[in-house]
Amino acid sequence: MSIILKPWGREYLCYRNEEVAIWLLEIKKGASTSLHAHPKKNTALIVLHGSAELSFIRGEPRILTGLDKINIFRGRFHRTTALGYPSRQANSVILLEVEAPDDKRDLVRLDDVYGRAGTPIEEATEPKDLSCLEIADNRETWVFAKCLLKIIHPISFEALSWQAASTIFVTLRGGLERGLVPPGDAIDGITMERLVRTFPPIPGSAFLQIWKWSIP
């Protein structure tokens, strides 16, 4: 999969399995995505670097900084605007978009500052380069955008307990018992630590664990 160029920056696929897909988005400072929704899939947004404003059709917008996350249920219109760092000259915001199920064409645009309302998603046009993040099941750790990313396969609750609030888990396969934290969900470390003591991981589960590698 190649890079999809956008008027607000670029995005590309960095992980895919039978349950979820993870895309990396680079949004230029001051630029915005369309106000859009995904009728068939749930998504999770995780800011790795920079600061972004997430707005909806109604209600107050939310400011997300690294490593903030939000789960967005199917059908909810949302727009992401890159704020960068107020005190720094950050050129873009870097975030992960987790999709479950994997369906990139599941997109409805309500309005767009670049005139794309009602149009389908753009096609990939540019080849990936060495700066792109590639997450694979046959490897365990990555350092990217001042974050450490690691795939873990927990066999007991201890592997997921006693985590910091700044740690984020993304379920790649399985989840917790009783159908909690299914594939595609993002959850912070403190919530995970609370849940996993009562609802242990399903055998065969895999999680992507993300935490800050250095202070931005």
What is 4-111's CATH number?
2.60.120.10
pTM over 0.85: yes
Q: Where in the chain do CATH 2.60.120.10 domains reside?
A: 4-111
What pLDDT digit, counting tens, does each position of 21-38 carry? Answer: 999 999 999 999 999 999
Residues 6+ apart with CB under 8 A from 47: 64, 65, 66, 67, 68, 69, 93, 94, 95
Q: pLDDT-based confidence at 91, cuts 50/70/90?
A: confident
User: Distance (Å, rounded) from C-alpha 87 to C-alpha 100?
Assistant: 35
